[in-house]
Amino acid sequence: MGSVEKVAAYRKRINCKKVHFVEGNHDNVTRKLQSTFASWSSMSEIHVGKQGVVLCHYAMRVWLYHGCGTWQLYGHSHGNLPDELLTLSMDVGVDSHDFRPWHFEEVQAIMK
């Protein structure tokens, strides 16, 4: 993402109260700004309302509670993995979404 200043400016443009940062293989600079995110991890298990979500930079074939409706959201693949609609996993990298973050309602509509 560039320098610390560029990363900080980009973060300020995101109008969300909670931004969970899941680090990937190019986040050395961004790591310096961990405190500006709601959480920072290599993998995270969160809930948005009643929806369980596993966040990981890398796509997984199985994850905790995958058989119970929990989603797995990932990046890294730059939109190059084939969509498998029945897996409840989705590439939410910005480079596959007009270089903008996904809103939960957008993901929810696709996951239906």
Question: CA 87, CA 70: separation in Å to the nearest integer?
Answer: 10
pLDDT of residue 5: 92
Instruction: Report mean pLDDT in 10-residue bins for the chain, 112 residues.
Output: 85 84 85 88 92 94 90 85 80 86 91 87
CA 97, distance to chain mean position in Å, is 12
pLDDT of residue 85: 67
pLDDT of residue 71: 95
Query: Of 27, 23, 14, 109, which Cα lies nearest the Cα of 71?
Result: 109
State pTM to two decimals.
0.80
pLDDT of residue 58: 93
Domains of the chain, CATH where assigned: 4-111 (3.60.21.10)
The structure tokens 């369980």 sit at: 52
